[in-house]
Amino acid sequence: MAFIYIILLAISLSFDTFAVAISCGLCLPQISFQNAIKVSLPFALAQAIMPLIGWIIGDSLEQILKDYDHWIAFSLLCFLGGRMIVTSFRKEKPLKPFNPMSLPTIMGLSVATSIDALFVGFSMALVETNLAITVISIGSVTFIAAMLGILIGKKTGPHLGKKMVMVGGIILIAIGTKILLSHILV
């Protein structure tokens, strides 16, 4: 997978974290830079570890799935992207404030926002990609997205988060389509 697609993948996976981080910033308007790092780091680690786990699972099944790998990658990425787009249009009730500095809360949010990355990792095992660069890119971009989300949440409000989730969904669908077309048109 070309580096530009790795970065686009990392960006699209980070949009859920970005949206949640905006909420964290709203809940902690006085958060310090040091505490923002403490909140952002678990998001980045979970987002980097999940595709690695998915890749291990997908790699072990590669020989069985090799004739259908591009269809599987396409289907998973389009499903995840479509789900992100649908989610971005849902109206939600205002959430009760939560404490993002609480370890159980931040760990739960980190895992919840990284489940998509598990399935993306499964898809990555079925296409040619540099796993180390991909995992490092996903973790780094997610960390930056979380830090920016916290800052924006402190300053603005929750409206930007939903739009970014929709953009992330569109990017995942585009990458899935590119994978499918690159196998069909060869």
Interval 20-74: pLDDT, tens: 888 788 778 788 999 999 999 999 999 999 999 999 998 888 778 777 778 887 8
- Per-residue pLDDT at 93: 60
Number of domains in the chain: 1
| Cα of 156 vs its chain's centroid, Å | 22
Per-residue tokens: 118: 């598990």
Residues 6+ positions from 33 with CB-CB distance below 8 Å: none
Query: For residue range 78-106, what is the model confidence (pLDDT) as tens digits?
Result: 887 788 788 778 776 654 556 788 898 89
The neighbour count for residue 99, using CB atoms within 10 Å, is: 12
The domain containing residue 24 runs over which residues?
A: 3-184
Give the predicted TM-score (pTM) of the model.
Answer: 0.75
Select from 13, 30, 27, 135 the least CA-distant residue to 77.
13
Strand (E) or helix (H) holding 19? helix 3-27
- Per-residue pLDDT at 35: 93
Can you give the C-alpha Rg of the chain in angstroms?
A: 17
Residues 6+ positions from 125 with CB-CB distance below 8 Å: 54, 55, 56, 57, 58, 59, 61, 62
Question: pLDDT > 90: what percent of the chain?
Answer: 30
Residues 6+ positions from 120 with CB-CB distance below 8 Å: 9, 13, 51, 54, 76, 77, 80, 172
Residue 11's φ and ψ, nearest 5 degrees, are: -65, -45
